[in-house]
Amino acid sequence: MWIYEKKLQYPVRVEKCDLTLAKYLITQYGGPDGELSAALRYLNQRYSMPNRKAMALLTDIGTEEFAHLEIIATLVHKLIKGATPEQMQAAGLASHFADHEHALFYVDAEGHPWTAEYIQAKGDPIADLHEDIAAEEKARATYEALIALSDDSGVKDALRFLREREIVHSQRFSEALVLVREDKEQQKFF
């Protein structure tokens, strides 16, 4: 089903260690509006879609979200690489260090672990697509906030790429919503 290219979808450059930014950025890894939540939401909801185009779109975007997860993981890894336990503690990451050292873990910016409560699947394609549009817009807003919090041009560049993909995903879900509504309103003859 997938072909994995052993390279990131977008290059990641980090100029310096920045534990505070890593702490905030981790929310896009394991937070409620992050990439893991998006990927799982879309790959689950695709089975409720009434037509192959909508199903394929959710499959494509869900898969791309895993590529975004990999970008976030790379950013966080590079931002904390080589940090001492004392530096981790000073940045408010002592609990993370105690449990995971420098390993990534699916948590939000406050350190709360990822939960399935972050994702939704109603089974109604119109409701689910509205949920997906909202999820993409929340992720876009989070990326905008993260861009504002960073002074690293390489990090900002990668975050801008991710923000733009959220906008495209929102647009594609809006197009799918039109298709699903048209499909639902179309008179069926048996």
Q: Summarize pLDDT for 10-34 with one digit per residue, the tens.
A: 999 999 999 999 999 999 999 999 9
Q: What is the DSSP letter of 9?
A: S
pTM equals: 0.92
Whether the CB-CB separation of 111 and 10 falls below 8 Å is answered with: no
d(CA 126, CA 130): 6
For the chain, which residues make up each domain, given as ranges?
Answer: 19-184
Q: What is the band of 70 on the pLDDT scale with cuts at 50, 70, 90?
A: very high
Six token digits for residue 104? 């990534």
Spatial CB neighbours of 186, under 8 Å, sequence gap ≥ 6: none
Please report where in the chains the tokens 């950013």 appear, as a residue: 75
pLDDT tens figures, 139-176 = 999 999 999 999 999 999 999 999 999 999 999 999 99
Residues 31-49 pLDDT 10s: 999 999 999 999 999 999 9
Structure tokens that stand for 112 in this block: 């709360």
Fold classification of 19-184 (topology level): Ferritin (1.20.1260)
